[in-house]
A = this chain, B = another copy of it.
Amino acid sequence: MTIALKEGYEPLTEATAVQLIKDLGYFDAHSSLRCKEIGDGNLNLVFHILDENDKGIIIKQALPYAKVVGESWPLTLHRATIEGNYLKNAIPLVQELVPQVQHTDEAKALTIMEDLSHLDIVRTGFISGKDYPILSQHIGEYLAKTLFFTSDFGCNQQVKKGLQQAFSNPELCKITEDLVFTDPFHVSETNDFEPELIGTVETLWEDDSLKLEVAKLKYKFLTCGEALLHGDLHTGSIFANETTTKVIDPEFAFFGPVGFDIGQFFANLLFQAITRSDEKKDIILFHLHQVWDTFIQTFTELWQTASVEPFTKTEGYLEHVLEGFFHDSIGFAGCELIRRTIGLAHVADLDGIEDSSRRLACKEVAIKLGRELILQRSSISRTNEIVHLLEKVKRGA
C-alpha cells in the first residue's frame, strides 16, 4: 500500500524548518534560531524552534506513515488538516485550554503553534509524582464546552451536519476501531503483553458476555455521531502546570459518542490510581470525581442557557442524556484500560514499573477493572462506584 502525496509535501528537516519559520516572518530575519526535532517520529515530526531570547514556536508536521512495531503503515496526511481545523474550531469554545495556532498548511501537512515547553506532559508528571490541582476542573470544562457546542443540543443542527462531513476521519477512526475495540478481544498479531498474562487474557477472549458488551460499545463508536470528539484524550495529550492546562494532538477528531472522550480521560487517571500507593492515590481520585462533577455542572449550565433544541425544556431529558454519557464513559474507560495493557499501544504508567511482579499485578488489576467497568457500566451512576470497584478488584487480584 502506498499513499498519494500532495504536491508540495516534503518532510521538513531541522534546517528547512528554520528556513520556513523565517520565511513566514515569525522571527526577525537576523535572529539566530536553534531548532530541535522532539517528536517520537512514529506519526509526526515536531520541531521546537527558539530564538536567542528563548522565544519559541512549534512546527508539527504529519508523516505519511505510522511506524508500528518497526513497520511503516501508510497513513493519510489529511489528519494534519483535521488537527488544524479542530484547534481553530475549538478556539472560540475553550480558547485558554488549547495551544494557539499561528498557521496551517494543508499541502505541507503542518501546523505552527504556540510553544508549550514550559509545561509538563501530564502523564510524565503524574508518573514522577507531580500534581496539577486545576487539571480536572479544566478538563471537565473542556469536555463540556467542546462536546456541548458541537452536539445537537448546542450547535445548529444544519451546521453540525456540515462539520460532521468536514471532520470525517475514516483512517484514524479505523486505528481506534481495531486497536481499542477489536484486536484486544480477539487473537491478533497487534496484541502485545507479557507471557505471564496469557491466562487472564485468554479468559477475556473466551468471555462471550464481555465480548457482547464490547461489541455494543464498538457499534456506538461506529454509528453514534453525538459531538466532535478530541478522539485521543489521554494524559499524554495534555500539557499542564499548576495553573494552566493545554490539550494537544486532536488528529483523531471526528463526530462520535460523547462518552469516548470522557472515558479515555477516566481510564488514564485510573492507571495512576492502580499504580499508586493508597495515600498518593487520593489526589488522582479527586481528579476522577472533579472532572465528572465539573463536566455535568458546566454541561447543565449550557443546556439551560445555550440550547438550540426545543426538547431540552422537557422534564427529565437532561438527566437521561447525562446518565447515558456516564454509562458510555464507564464502558469506554473499561476498553481503554484493557487495550493499553494488552493491545498494541501501551502506557508508561504501567510499562514503566521496573519491579516485574508489581508491574504484572498492576496489569492484572487494569484488565480486571476494565472488564468490570464494561460489564457493569449500566448500573454505575457515580464516580465513587468506580473507586469501590477498583478497591474490590485490587483486593481480589
Contact = CB atoms under 8 A, between A and B. Distances in A.
Contacts of A219: 152, 311, 321
Interface-central residue, A162, A173, A226, A311, by most chain B CB under 10 Å:
A311
A216 B170 CA distance: 27
Contact of A212 (B173, B215, B223, B317): B317
Interface string A309-332: 011001111001100000000000
B311 A214 contact: yes
B215 A317 contact: yes
Contacts of A317: 212, 215
Given A224-B223, A315-B212, A320-B212, A173 B152 contact: no
Main SS class of interface, A: helix
A225 interface: yes
B165 A211 contact: no
Contacts of A211: 311, 314
A270 B208 CA distance: 39
A29 to B, nearest CB: 43
B208 A314 contact: yes
Interface residues of A, number: 36
A311 B174 contact: no
Interface in A215-239: 215-216, 218-219, 222-226
Contacts of A311: 182, 211, 214-215, 218-219
9 A-B pairs closest in CB distance: A215-B311, A161-B170, A208-B315, A152-B222, A211-B314, A158-B170, A165-B168, A212-B316, A223-B226
23 contacts: A152-B222, A152-B223, A157-B170, A157-B173, A157-B222, A158-B170, A158-B174, A162-B170, A182-B310, A182-B311, A186-B310, A208-B315, A208-B316, A211-B311, A212-B314, A212-B316, A214-B311, A215-B311, A215-B314, A215-B317, A216-B320, A219-B321, A223-B226
Interface of A: 152, 157-158, 161-162, 164-165, 168, 170-171, 173-174, 177, 182, 186, 208, 211-212, 214-216, 218-219, 222-226, 310-311, 314-317, 320-321
Given A212-B314, A219-B311, 15 more contacts: A157-B174, A157-B177, A161-B168, A162-B168, A164-B168, A182-B310, A208-B314, A211-B314, A212-B316, A212-B317, A212-B320, A223-B224, A223-B225, A223-B226, A225-B225
